[in-house]
Amino acid sequence: MSIFIGGTGSANELDDYEEGSFTPTVFGTNIGGYNEQYGKYVKIGKLVTVNIRMRFSANTNSNNAFGVAGLPFTSAGNEGDTYGSGGITYCDIPLNNANFDPYITNNSTLIYFYQKITGDAIYLASNCSNKYLGLAAFYYV
């Protein structure tokens, strides 16, 4: 069965649907391990949505940019094709700023976090042992 979006014909046919799981990791700090590490995705055409939940077992704080790695697909590579974003669903990890958003750049499998007003990087302010991070994001491939 074919599904057509906005009319009939092959240009409007939904022919690319996939869902699955992946293993997200953290970059920018020395995470001592994970108690939970879940990632789910749905890809429809060029649009990918991800849901991530991680609970950390230990870490050391760091002045390096904090983010999530391991997205299931590389984002689109042309300027202006992606600029993916999302929202934090739950976060009790100690960060240097509470006012931040996730951001996915071009040609990447990383989610960076930036302060909303200044654009400065987010980093861990203290130990996050047994703390959670949950987020949902979307991007284009």
The tens digit of pLDDT for each residue in 61-110 reads: 677 788 899 999 999 987 667 667 787 777 777 777 778 888 888 899 99
pLDDT of residue 8: 60
- Distance between CA atoms of residues 129 and 107, nearest Å: 31
User: For all residues of the chain together, what is the average pLDDT?
Assistant: 82
Q: Is the pTM of this model over 0.75?
A: yes
31 confidence band (pLDDT: 50, 70, 90): confident
pLDDT of residue 82: 67
Report the amino acid identity of residue 59.
N
56 confidence band (pLDDT: 50, 70, 90): confident
